[in-house]
Structure 1
């Protein structure tokens, strides 16, 4: 079944229109970030409302290196490393927090980052970072949406593979124990703090890689490209699909991305107020979360699996 889905995902891009290809690329970028967030929330039991901040760090790392003459491919490879390093630096103090305190701390980090980027001349300030070159891989320049669609597909496959290997490893077994009973896990010899920091860094690296691809795909970066609403979207995607489930993260990313596109189409029709997209998005996210928590608290994909014969 997995191979059928992978083959279908590889065939679909050649059948899409330019506008649909854009949605496909955005869906894949979201999937990479959400796979990491689902791992963080589902296994390490850490709630993050600032996942988009690591997407921004990855994007600006790749973009800044590229505009200063570093080969774009090296900038792309540096994007997840920069995001992971930032996660380690901020994770040491904030991962001591729990529950809503940690959620608010990650949200505050994103607000601080957006404020810094908006006022930093070296990052383009509020105007943004412009003139990013096309991504070039071993002399092959990616300047078409179809090429980025396959790059994103490769990124999704890579992140899901890394996640699957991590979950099935000894670290993964420790994470499962950590998610259900952290005190018992610590008593059994599981290095709770180290494992939480590891998953936080891996989750950030996935988001950072997505940000790096986004930077070269769009060719322009601004603080407004990574709003708090984007972090909320990631959380909704992870919860709706099913926390701690790779297929759930992919399903949630696909579902919410398509819903967002539908809402954007409706909200931008003639006669709709300028604030309609944001209002509709927040309203739909709230309704989805309430429905999921009340009726399928494990998420859609894990629930369907349990009910299937």
Structure 2
């Protein structure tokens, strides 16, 4: 496992200078998507809450960092404040929303995103429908290679935080609550408080990714954060494996690369203008069906189970041979 982790680190560090400009942009977007998905995976896998509005917190972080920098705040400070502002927004929204469960919560978070998109589109303070322009680059970064390293460093930090949360008392309490909320509450576990904390943490992850995204593009518009993006994050989490550390990265890689392929396919001569979005929705639905039917726990848990089964099968003949010799 250590050698596999080392190999991943080496490849991650070696790739940016080797990638062409277009592929480097995809690599950066993949890292940002995985960062947001890490929060969705925690929220769904441990808190048992489904959010269809995670792109709203992505937008809050992006616009917070962008607006602060446009008004003279140093870009690094804006980036550090982006997750804080997103987390505060999540606490204010989550206090009433997390009283809901299941599809009621999912629709409520979706409504939050729709309201936010309307506010951003109508508000002159955020650039309106034209968008927020003139966002400077992060201090010290002169090219996209630097952004790639920043994005994947942010992802590494987020995954480390996720791992610590999962192994903490709060993580164990959330797992107990997922099994039986009534029993967990009866044993003194503050289920509501832990769920709100995870909701805020997932929003902070999205806000941090949004801040990097704002400085990377230098321009923001409401159309950059569609409802489809929130659905993408959920699909990434489910396909990769809810509640796993590597799942968000695997799920993001599958979806981002697939979306890029579909966009290129949908923009071929003779294809209608709506082809990319229609293809994307169709593939998301197909992936969810396949994941639920054949890999209900996601790619990463399924791969671990198959690897464990293979190792036991490989060890079994050796054990039998030793028994025969004895």
Identify the residue that residue 200 of structure 2 maps to in structure 1: 201
27, 32, 53: which one aligns with 1:29: 32
Shift of 1:26: 0.1
**Max Rg structure:** 2
CA RMSD of aligned residues (A): 0.7
Structure 1 Cα separation of the partners of residues 179 and 12 of structure 2: 34
Task: Give secondary structure in 1 for the equivalent of 2:246.
Answer: helix
1:59 aligns with 2:62: yes
**SS of residue matched to 1:66:** helix
Check if 1:95 corresponds to 2:98.
yes
1:44, 1:80 → 2: CA distance? Answer: 20
* 1:50 Cα deviation from its structure 2 partner: 0.4
Q: Aligned partners of 1:122, 1:207: CA distance in 2, in Å?
A: 22
SS in structure 1 at match of 2:251: helix
Query: Unaligned regions of 5+ residues in structure 2, if any?
Result: 309-326
Is 1:255 matched with 2:254? yes
Show the counterpart of 1:165. Answer: 164
Unaligned runs of 5+ in 1: none
Separation in 2 of the partners of 1:30 and 1:180? Answer: 29
Match of 1:219 in 2: 218
Any runs of at least 4 consecutive aligned residues in structure 1 with deviations exceeding 2 A, and if so which?
A: none
- TM (norm. structure 2) is 0.93
After TM superposition, the structure 1 = structure 2 runs for residues 141-160 of structure 1, keeping only pairs within 5 Å, are 142-160=141-159
Equivalent position of 1:69 in the other structure: 72
Confirm or deny that 1:292 pairs with 2:291.
Answer: yes
The residue that corresponds to 1:175 in the other structure is 174
- What do residues 277-301 of structure 1 show as CA deviations (whole Å, max 9, x unaligned)? 1000000000000111111111111
The 2-side partners of 1:152 and 1:66 are apart by 19
Query: Structure 1 residue 69: deviation in Å?
Result: 0.5
Task: Count residues with an aligned counterpart.
Answer: 305
Q: Give the drift of 1:108.
A: 0.4
Q: Which residue of 2 aligns with 1:124?
A: 127
* Cα displacement string for residues 232-278 of structure 1 (whole angstroms, at most 9, x for unaligned residues): 00000000001001111110011110000000110111111111110
**Structure 1 residue aligned with 2:15, among 12, 16, 20?**
12
